[in-house]
Amino acid sequence: MLHLVRLELRKVKLGGIVRTSALTLLGVLGFVLLIGSDEAEGFKNYEEALTIIEMLVRIAFIIYASVLLSKLVVEEYRNQTMALLFTYPISRKKLLLAKLLIVGAITFAMVVIGTVLVSVGFYLFNEKLHYFAAPLTTDIVKTQAIHLVVNGIASAGMALVPLFFGMLRKSVPTTIVSSILIVALVNASNNGSSLGENIAVPITLGVIGFFVAYLSIRNVEHADL
């Protein structure tokens, strides 16, 4: 399995993922600093700032995960590359599992690591620019850390939901657009709150995503290519 994962990682080019992730996180940090600089509408405390940072990073990398899904799975089905791979003496289930593990693992890692990096960056800027005076306490860090790990796992599952829509027509645009619609629905603001603020919502979508992955892997041996 590890050998299959290494082979699939060559296709996504880790160097490109790192560069794209770095640029994405810089963009998120810049946007958060812009919000913080607004005296009227800026952050009031670290709880609010860290929640927004986590939400923005999660949105960015769930959408990015759909690009990886498209490259590793949907495009290979559409171009019949998967049919060629399935002629090799390799378990179809293991091959597809390796692809989905990569997408889920990268999403989890980028959501967690990315949120931490942007949060640290924001903290350092706030220490210099004083967007607000409220301190960052140990209790806040502990609460946000637990929330981040849970949301990271949920995000890894949510990232797999677009696979269901993309595989209906073997369509890359459908895969990516469905991920955008999912994060827009979950994080759309309604009177200052969103569905994503209720931890049960991303967890539920995460479970659905893992179930989609399970069904895809279970049925792949008999799938019509």
> How many domains are contained in the chain?
1
* Separation of alpha carbons 19 and 109, rounded Å: 15
How much is the pTM? Answer: 0.88
Residue-wise pLDDT for 47-87, tens only, equals 999 999 999 999 999 999 999 999 888 888 788 777 666 66
* 215 CB-near residues (< 8 Å, 6+ apart): none
Q: Is the pLDDT of residue 105 over 90?
A: yes
Q: Give the C-alpha distances (Å, rounded to integers) separating 49 from 11, 128, 147, 152, 223.
A: 36, 16, 14, 18, 46
What Cα–Cα distance (Å) separates residue 17 from each residue in 2, 32, 77, 107, 167? 19, 22, 22, 11, 23
**Angle between the 14-36 and 92-129 helix axes, to the nearest 10 degrees?**
30
> What is the pLDDT averaged over residues 3-16?
78
The set of residues, in sequence order, having a beta carbon less than 8 Å from that of 20 and lying 6+ positions away, is 64
**pLDDT reading at 206 higher than 60:** yes
Highest-confidence range of 42-51, 53-62, 179-188, 206-215, by mean pLDDT? 53-62
Specify whether the CB–CB gap between 8 and 69 falls below 8 A: no
The whole domain housing 144 covers 2-222
| Average confidence (pLDDT) over 102-123 | 95
